[in-house]
Amino acid sequence: MSRIGKKPVSVPAGVTATVAGQLVKVKGSKGELSFEVPEDVSVAMEDGAIAVQPRSQSKRARALWGTSRARINNLVIGTTAGFEKRLEINGVGYKAAVAGKVLKLSLGFSHDIDYEIPAGVAITTPKPTEIVVAGIDKQVVGQTAAEIRDYRGPEPYKGKGVKYAGEFIFRKEGKKK
């Protein structure tokens, strides 16, 4: 039994959720999102909450039960509060700046990296060494932050590179004479 899947997703005031077959649409103050629930899972509105149940006891249905409930919960959270990922840049001369729809990254390469900001995501740079990725879709926000981090991930010797805020980088000792 899925501990997460058993709990219904409560719909707070100011949010409208509709279930039409396998399609769940959630509209809130920040925007509108939808999710197509897999056929192995049934979804229904019950007492102002969205309930998710597996159609059978197959391994796939039980696996998608908790996942579907979590995805629907992320729709509700995204349309009310939104999601945010913070990235930190460490290294001499490493910096970031937003210019229109492009994030300009200087990460020690011979050229600057121009990252096109995807639709549905807002990127800000409060400091040249800090990047804030925000949006209503958790998957898109996480994917965007991961793509930015991939340009120059943190290295274990000096800790230079782009890392998530609060991420611990296991440090290695350098060569000895």
Instruction: Give CATH 3.90.930.12 domain extents, the chain.
Output: 3-80, 83-164
67 — phi, psi (to 5°)? -65, -45
Architecture (CATH level 2) of domain 3-80: Alpha-Beta Complex (3.90)
Is this structure's pTM higher than 0.85?
A: yes
Report how far apart, in Å, the C-alpha atoms of 160 and of each of 17, 95, 152, 163, 172 are. Answer: 44, 12, 8, 9, 13
Per-residue pLDDT of the chain (177 residues; tens, 9 = 90+): 678 888 899 999 889 999 998 899 999 999 999 999 999 999 999 888 999 999 999 999 989 999 999 999 999 999 999 999 999 999 999 999 999 999 999 999 999 999 999 999 999 999 999 999 999 999 999 999 999 999 999 999 998 999 999 999 999 998 887
Which CATH number does 83-164 carry?
A: 3.90.930.12
CA–CA distance, 158 with 108 (Å, rounded to integer): 14
